[in-house]
Amino acid sequence: MNLRSGRHLSSLQPRRHGARYRRRGSAGADRISSLSDDMILLVLARLHCLSTAVRTGLLSRRWRGLWTRLTDLAFRGVVPATIEAALSGFATAAPVGTAFNLDIALPSEPDARQVADSLLHAAARFSPAELVFTLTLLSFTEKTRPYPSIRLPCFHRATSIDLDVQLFLVWPPQAGEFPMLERLSLSGRIVGIAGLVTRCPRLRLLRAKFRGLEHEEMHPALYKLGLALRSRSNATLSLLDGTRILAGPYGALTISRRF
C-alpha cells in the first residue's frame, strides 16, 4: 500500500529489538553462543573482575558456569568473606596442579588490618602462582600511630608477588621461605624487607617502594636491605626515579633491583 508521500507501508513497520535480534547475524546464527569455550574464557579473563564474569551468564546459557573454569581470578570491591569462600570453592573444584593467578583489591575500611591479614592467609592456603594484593588509599594521621602491621605468610608456589599495603608495616613470616618466588614488588612501610629477601632463594627481580618512614627508620632498613642484596650479588642498588626521601612520614623511596 502506497501513502501520499510515496513510501510503502511495509517500510514503516516497527523494527524488532531485543537481545535475541542483536545477537543474531544476517544468517540468523547466535554468534555469542557459537563462540568456543576457550574464546569465552578469554573474554571473561579480560574483564579483570570475577563478579562481572559471573553476571555474564545472563547473556547466554552457554556462558553460565564457565567462570568456574577461570584461572585468572580478580576481585574488585568484593566482600572479604565472599572472597575467602570463593577461593575455597575454586581450590576444591579445580584439578590438582592448576596454576591460579590471584588479584585482590580491597577498599578502605576501619578493620582493614584484620581483613588484610585474614585474606593474605586465605590466599596463602589457596597457593596461587601469581599474587597481586592491593589496599586502596587509607586515611592515616599522626593520631593513627602506631601504624597497623601485617606479617606475611609463606607462599610456596608463587613465582610473582605484588603487594601494596599503603602505610601498613610489613614484616616477613616468622619461619619458612618463598621457594619459587622470582619477582617481588612491595609498597608500604616495609622496614622488614631485608628479612623477606633472604627468604626468597630464587628471587630475580625486586621492586620496593618505602612509604611513611622517618629518616631514623629509613636508613637502618636500607642498610639491612643492602647487606641482604650484596649477599646475593656483588652489584649495588639501582634506584628508580632517583632518590626521593622526603621529610615527614609521607616520603617515598623506590628501589628497583635485578639479580
- Measured CA angle at 231 (ends 128, 256), to 5 deg: 60
| Structure-block grid coordinates of residue 125 | 592456603
pLDDT per residue as tens digits for the range 48-99: 777 777 777 777 777 777 777 788 898 987 888 888 988 888 888 777 778 8
Report if pTM > 0.85: no
pLDDT per residue as tens digits for the range 178-192: 999 999 999 888 888
Residue 71 CB neighbour total at 10 angstroms: 15
Instruction: Give dist(CA 15, CA 249) in Å, integer.
Output: 63
Q: Residue 144: pLDDT above 70?
A: no
- What are residue 66's phi and psi, to 5 degrees? -65, -25
